[in-house]
Structure 1
Amino acid sequence: MIEAQTLTKRYGAKTAVDSVSFTVRPGRVTGFLGPNGAGKSTTMRMIMGLDNPSGGQVTINGRPYAKHKAPLHEVGALLDAKAVHTKRSAYNHLRAMAATHGIPNSRVNEVIELTGLGAVAKKRVGGFSLGMGQRLGIAVALLGDPQTVILDEPVNGLDPEGVQWVRHLARDLAAEGRTVFLSSHLMSEMALTADHLIVIGRGRIIADAPIQDIIDGQSKARVRVRADRPQDLLNPLAGDGVSSQILEPELIEITGVDPRRIAETAQRTGVLVYELTPLQLSLEDAYMQLTQAEVEYQSHSLSPTTPEATQITIPVEGRRP
């Protein structure tokens, strides 16, 4: 288990992590999300004792990382896959790590096979691809058979098979009752892997909840309607918080109205409906809504173009938009 209490980190006048408190529990995969510069890496470094907090504390299995007598057996982490001696082979790198904790060579061989490094174990790490370097970093994290595993961007550089392997690995570790804490910018993977999310923005926790609760909390009813005269539905459905996107002449998306009301309105107004599909908000959509005010580094289009869909707000009947 990882427990942070009012954890704070300042660099001069800048507060990178601002009094955050959270608990990462065993038996589930907890995802750690946030925009660039939000404080994710700093928080993970403080968990691993690589940065000292300016205030508060964080413990792993009840103790700060530095207080564990055999930390590799308590927590394994992948924070920087490039932090290796490039002239060593993968096998010798793992043997050197194992020697610090009296871990036998048999365990070294186990993690080499588990991470798919068997064919390159005797090759120098300096010649590894990004994906193979990631696999070595995960092998190091698993070397001590730890109760807690922390992985920062573990699928970076991996091929589709490797991405799927990391997904299953994280879920299998959690199913064994271990604490699994991972970060990723790939929302599709986080949606498939994580049970619980902690979202940080500008150094503060802005969400800490099961993944479905976060999606549901950011979503309004959104329905795709295909009909012969879909725009004839707009006035009867008008109301505060109701909006629509015209996708095609006979296809619109209506937000803020449930499908039953749309169907009843279509029947009453004589609109022939061919399709009425409730749409599920994706994790990426929910994340973007949740963090839109927390992004420190904004990107802008080089050449603005006409949007594919026209967004309109349906006014309350009798009012001008």
Structure 2
Amino acid sequence: MIEARGLVKVYGGKPQKYAVQDISFTVRPGKVTGFLGPNGAGKSTTMRMIMGLDDPTAGRVTVNGRPYAQHKAPLREVGALLDAKAVHTSRSAWHHLRAMAATHGIPQQRIHEVIELTGLGPVATKRVGGFSLGMGQRLGIAAALLGDPQTVILDEPVNGLDPEGVLWVRNLARSLAAEGRTVFLSSHLMSEMAQTADHLIVIGRGRIIADASIQEILDGQGRARTRVRTGGPEGAQLLGRVLAGPGVSIEAREGCLLEVSGVEPRAIAQAALEQQVLVCELTPLQASLEEAYLDLTRDEVEYHSGALAGRPDAPDDVAAPAAAGRQS
């Protein structure tokens, strides 16, 4: 379990910069918890404080009941992938893992096990400096699992992996959680997070803006929509006129297809019946995790790309000429 209470991180300089502002959360065992947020939101800083790489300005964070630095055998308590490139490039994968294992008295049999588990067998004796990005990620995951830890922290674990590797990481995370371990991972791939995580913690500008199950976040963000397909364009036009009203949004997707928000599916069906409009499809739609995430973090993004300019939901300070020269 990971517990953060009143965690604050301030970097020096004038003015001082709050990387993390009084955040509290709990990452529980037995489920995969995703950690999301825009660039610069404080994700990496938070993970570094969990691992004892950065000291908090205020507050406290513990892993399995203790600060990371107080564990006598930390590799056996928590395994982490924060930077897959933090490896001596002249060493082989085998020797890198062997050096780590030696610090904790981990037997060589365990090295063989994690090499087999991560698919590194064919390259185990090759220099890490020649590894592809995906192989580097696999080595980082092998190192995180080396001590058979109760808590696993993975920062962008699917970065550089091919589709088979992405599926493998997804199944690995879920199997670790099924064993009762604490699994905490970050990713920018919303589709992957939707298939992997059970719970989400969303951070923006150093503050927690959501801490809930994926379903709760999906249910709480965006308006319910319904796809309506009629028997012909005339019926779609008629139904659209009947349903129109305050708080109702109707988008014509095709000649016979409408996307309606602000009206319950049952009310749509009743209106169609009263107007004798043939309805061939009536499908409730749920916002995707990507849509829910963008809605949650709309006001928390530090840099906006030019693609946002001109959109009706873009922040007021985003203009095409200014956005084009900003970082993204």
Relative to the length of structure 1, the TM-score reads 0.92
SS in 2 for 1:56: strand
2:156 aligned with 1:149, yes or no?
no
How far apart are residue 37 of structure 1 and its match? Answer: 0.8
Give the equivalent residue in structure 2 for 1:223: 226
Give the equivalent residue in structure 2 for 1:107: 110
Give the equivalent residue in structure 2 for 1:8: 8
Q: What is the 5 A alignment of 1:268-279?
A: 268-279=274-285
Give the equivalent residue in structure 2 for 1:264: 270
2:159 aligned with 1:160, yes or no?
no
Preserved CA contact (<8 Å) 2:4 2:60: yes
Relative to the length of structure 2, the TM-score reads 0.90
Q: Which amino acid aligns with 2:153?
A: I
Give the stretch that moved more between structures: 44-53 or 218-227: 218-227
Gaps of 5+ in 2: 312-328
In the aligned structure 1, how far is the partner of 2:168 from the partner of 2:62? 29
How far apart are residue 304 of structure 1 and its match? Answer: 7.6
2:74 aligned with 1:71, yes or no?
yes
Q: Which amino acid aligns with 1:55?
A: A
How far apart are residue 120 of structure 1 and its match? Answer: 0.2
2:254 aligned with 1:241, yes or no?
no
Q: What is the 5 A alignment of 1:11-160?
A: 11-12=11-12, 13-160=16-163
Q: Which amino acid aligns with 1:10?
A: V
In the aligned structure 1, how far is the partner of 2:110 from the partner of 2:280? 60
How far apart are residue 43 of structure 1 and its match? Answer: 0.3
Preserved CA contact (<8 Å) 2:80 2:144: yes
Q: Which amino acid aligns with 1:2?
A: I
Gaps of 5+ in 1: 306-321
How far apart are residue 294 of structure 1 and its match? Answer: 1.0
In the aligned structure 2, how far is the partner of 1:105 from the partner of 1:239? 70
How far apart are residue 182 of structure 1 and its match? Answer: 0.3
In the aligned structure 1, how far is the partner of 2:308 from the partner of 2:10? 35
How far apart are residue 272 of structure 1 and its match? Answer: 2.4
1:22-52 Cα distance to aligned partner (Å, 9 max, x none) = 0000011000011111110110000000111
Give the stretch that moved more between structures: 118-127 or 250-259: 250-259
In the aligned structure 2, how far is the partner of 1:33 from the partner of 1:146? 23
